[in-house]
């Protein structure tokens, strides 16, 4: 069932209608005047894919192997905080999708569902995303907890030493938990479907900070993260370590030398530094610095199957989708999410056929 979703734009349009303005703008918004979003889109649009012909593309596959695991799709689910704002139990919908598609679900430090039920629902296909904060005491407790919960991949996000300023969020007075003043009251009253669902299911809150015997300070600064901390984390974490939010080749080389298992090229969906380069433009350079075999992941600005294929063409070994998945949930719940996923799968598969390729890592794609 399509739920009226034939593209990620459809999902966004429907979500805009159904979500309170405050929630839509929290998910959709970006840093500053949002030129980062525009730059990213323009960079994708400037890349072209050359159609190659008569290559028998009847047998195509979308799955790839990451860290020795075979996925069913060429994209996974980016870690996102407070997903349950897009719809009740959105985190669980994403986890079940990860299980079905055997792709990684990024479980945010500030997820609105605790990390334990999420990895269970994802049938193990979950990676824990870590924000370093304060002096690291709480952070390392989260790391140990993730290990006990069965996570074997940790994603350290490094592009949030301070939270970027997103005026669209700030204008609505977006805070967690909500403060409900007259403006928010009107907003919620005008979106009764969302508001009633939240009333029955309860207000979403960051769920990982509730830790027995430890009082987590959610307001701690993230600014102290440095290379010494990274090396401590590397020593402490026996599993795979991914660093997310890398845009600079020298940083990528240093991360590889520090024993990091993969790098995720990302500008956090243009939500942090407005003037950051379009991350899709950084992929090739970073790949040439770390070598073609070193695992390189990509997120930010992926809106279609053609975008996904372009990211593989620039050197990505795997890609991650972000806010459009939340829009699909807001638009049509779990069916809406599956509908968008199917659209993206179909778009990717058709794109491969049209350029004469049979898989996302077909060397032909990199030839452009
Ligand atoms: C609402 C929202 C919350 C996010 N929360 C987190 C988070 O907690 N941790 C993190 O590493 N990235 C977070 N991100 C960034 C995503 O992981 C990802 O980098 C980004 O959404 C990709 O860009 P896209 O939305 O254009 O696809 C968040 C993004 C959004 C839209």
Band (pLDDT 50/70/90 cuts) for residue 182 is: confident
Please state, in angstroms and rounded to a whole number, the distance separating the CA atoms of residues 165 and 352: 38
Whether the CB-CB separation of 157 and 131 falls below 8 Å is answered with yes
27 lines ligand 1 (CB under 6 A): yes
Mean pLDDT of the chain: 96
Which residue's CA lies nearest to atom 18 of ligand 1?
268
Q: What is the set of domains in the chain, with CATH numbers?
A: 2-366 (3.20.20.70)
Please state, in angstroms and rounded to a whole number, the distance separating the CA atoms of residues 286 and 283: 5
108: CA distance to ligand 1 center in Å? 9
Please state, in angstroms and rounded to a whole number, the distance separating the CA atoms of residues 328 and 312: 24
Band (pLDDT 50/70/90 cuts) for residue 174 is: confident
Tokens of 90: 């959105």
Provide the β-strand partners of residue 262. Answer: 242
Band (pLDDT 50/70/90 cuts) for residue 349 is: very high
For the stretch 114-120, contacts whose Cβ atoms lie closer than 8 Å and that sit 24 or more positions apart, written own/partner, are 114/207, 114/208, 114/210, 115/145, 115/146, 115/149, 115/151, 115/208, 116/149, 117/92, 118/91, 118/92, 119/95, 119/149, 119/150, 119/151
Band (pLDDT 50/70/90 cuts) for residue 296 is: very high
Please state, in angstroms and rounded to a whole number, the distance separating the CA atoms of residues 99 and 179: 35
The answer, yes or no, to whether residue 311 has pLDDT greater than 70, is yes
Please state, in angstroms and rounded to a whole number, the distance separating the CA atoms of residues 345 and 340: 9
346: CA distance to ligand 1 center in Å? 24
pLDDT at position 2 is 75
90 lines ligand 1 (CB under 6 A): no
Selection from 254, 252, 263, 50 nearest residue 156 by Cα: 263
Whether the CB-CB separation of 318 and 76 falls below 8 Å is answered with yes
From the alpha carbon of 266, which atom of ligand 1 is closest? Answer: 19
Which residue's CA lies nearest to atom 21 of ligand 1?
322
The answer, yes or no, to whether residue 368 has pLDDT greater than 80, is no
Residue 57 half-sphere exposure toward CB, CA atoms < 13 A: 20
Q: What is the pLDDT of residues 6-55, one digit of tens each?
A: 999 999 999 999 999 999 999 999 999 999 999 999 999 999 999 999 99
pLDDT at position 329 is 98
Band (pLDDT 50/70/90 cuts) for residue 211 is: confident
pLDDT at position 1 is 63
Please state, in angstroms and rounded to a whole number, the distance separating the CA atoms of residues 317 and 300: 15
Q: What is the pLDDT of residues 225-272, one digit of tens each?
A: 999 999 999 999 999 999 999 999 999 999 999 999 999 999 999 999
The answer, yes or no, to whether residue 3 has pLDDT greater than 80, is no
194: CA distance to ligand 1 center in Å? 22
Compare 177 and 83 and report the one with higher pLDDT. Answer: 83
The answer, yes or no, to whether residue 337 has pLDDT greater than 70, is yes
272 lines ligand 1 (CB under 6 A): no
Band (pLDDT 50/70/90 cuts) for residue 346 is: very high
78: CA distance to ligand 1 center in Å? 6
Q: What is the pLDDT of residues 55-96, one digit of tens each?
A: 999 999 999 999 999 999 999 999 999 999 999 999 999 999
Which residue's CA lies nearest to atom 13 of ligand 1?
80
Q: Which residues have a catalytic role annotated?
A: 268
Q: Considering the entire predicted model, what is its pTM?
A: 0.98
Give the pairing type, strands 69-70 and 65-66: antiparallel
Whether the CB-CB separation of 309 and 348 falls below 8 Å is answered with yes
Share of the chain above pLDDT 70, in %: 100
Overall average pLDDT of the 148-166 stretch: 97
């Amino acid at each position: 069932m399509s739920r009226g979703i034939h593209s990620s734009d459809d999902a966004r349009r429907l979500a805009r209608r159904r979500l309170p303005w405050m929630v839509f703008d929290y998910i959709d918004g970006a840093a500053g005047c949002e030129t980062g979003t525009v730059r990213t889109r323009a960079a994708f649009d400037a890349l072209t894919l050359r159609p190659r012909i008569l290559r028998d593309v009847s047998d195509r596959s979308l799955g790839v192997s990451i860290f020795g695991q075979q996925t069913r799709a060429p994209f996974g689910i980016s870690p996102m905080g407070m997903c349950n704002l897009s719809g009740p139990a959105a985190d669980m919908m994403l986890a079940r999708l990860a299980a079905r598609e055997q792709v990684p679900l990024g479980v945010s430090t500030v997820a609105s569902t605790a990390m334990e039920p999420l990895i269970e629902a994802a049938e193990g296909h979950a990676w824990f995303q870590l924000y370093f904060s304060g002096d690291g005491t709480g952070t390392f407790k989260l790391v140990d907890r993730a290990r006990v919960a069965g996570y074997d991949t940790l994603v350290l996000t490094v592009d949030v030493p301070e939270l970027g300023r997103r005026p669209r969020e700030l204008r609505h007075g977006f805070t967690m938990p909500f403060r409900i003043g007259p403006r928010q009251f009107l907003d919620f009253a005008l979106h009764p479907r969302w508001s009633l669902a939240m009333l029955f299911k309860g207000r979403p809150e960051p769920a990982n900070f509730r830790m027995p015997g430890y009082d987590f300070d959610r307001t701690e600064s993230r600014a102290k993260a440095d290379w010494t901390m990274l090396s401590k984390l590397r020593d402490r974490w026996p599993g795979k370590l991914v660093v997310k939010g890398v845009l600079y080749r020298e940083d990528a080389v240093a991360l590889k030398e520090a024993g990091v298992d993969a790098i995720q090229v990302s500008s956090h969906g243009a939500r942090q530094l407005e003037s950051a380069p379009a991350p899709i433009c950084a992929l090739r350079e970073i790949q040439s610095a770390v070598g073609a075999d070193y695992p390189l992941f990509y997120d930010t600005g992926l809106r279609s199957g053609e975008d996904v294929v372009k990211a593989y063409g620039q050197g990505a070994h795997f890609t991650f989708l972000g806010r459009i998945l939340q829009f699909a949930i807001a638009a049509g719940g779990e069916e809406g999410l599956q509908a968008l996923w199917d659209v993206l799968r179909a778009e990717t598969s058709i794109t491969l056929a049209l350029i004469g390729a049979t898989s996302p890592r077909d060397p032909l794609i990199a030839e452009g």
